[in-house]
Copies of this chain bind each other. A is one copy, B any other.
Amino acid sequence: MLIRPATPQDRPAIWSIIGPVIRAGETYTLDPAQGESEALAYWLGPDKETFVAEEDGTILGTYYLRPNQAGGGSHVCNCGYMTAANATGRGIARRMAEHSLAHARTRGYRAMQFNFVVSTNDSAVRLWQSLGFQTVGRLPRAFHHPTQGYVDALVMFHPLDH
C-alpha cells in the first residue's frame, strides 16, 4: 500500500470515501447534510496536507494533517482519517496513522492531538491507544450519536519527541 499526497485527480475517490462517513454522522462532528463540494473544500482545505492510501490503483483511505491551533498552539498538529467502507478491518487506518505520526515529526510538530474521539467508538479508541495516544480529556455528553444518544467525547494526545 502506497500513502502519497492527494492530487486533484483523487477528488472523486476521496468523496466516495468521506461522503458516507460524513452522512452517517457517527464519528465526525461535520454537518451530515453537506454536499461534495463543501466536504472536499474542508478535507482538501489550504490549512491541511491531505494524503491518500492506494493499493493496486484503488484509493482505500485518506487522511489530513494540519496545525491544531494557530499562534502559540501551532506546534501541535491534528489529523482526521477515513477508510473506504469496503476496506475496513484491514489495518488501513493504522497504516495512515503511523504515516501521519512520522510525517508530523518531519514537519517539526511536537505533538498530535485529536480533539473529539467519540468515546463509544471502541475500535478507534483502541487503535489510538495502541499507537501511544493518551486520553487527556473527557467531554461529558459532547456528542449526539444518531443511535446512541448523548455520549462522551475524548481528547487524545501524543507527544512527538525529536
Instruction: Classify the secondary structure of A's interface with B.
Output: strand
> Chain B residue with minimal CB distance to A73?
B29
| A116 and B69 form a contact (CB under 8 A) | yes
With A72-B118, A73-B116, A73-B143 given, can you name 17 additional A-B contacts, CB distance below 8 Å? A25-B72, A26-B72, A28-B71, A29-B69, A29-B71, A29-B72, A30-B71, A72-B145, A110-B141, A111-B141, A111-B142, A115-B115, A136-B138, A136-B139, A139-B155, A139-B157, A142-B157
Interface residue ranges, A against B (CB under 8 Å): 25-26, 28-32, 69-76, 110-111, 113, 115-116, 118, 136-146, 150, 153, 155, 157, 159
> Chain B residue with minimal CB distance to A75?
B144
CA gap between A43 and B18 in the complex, in Å: 30
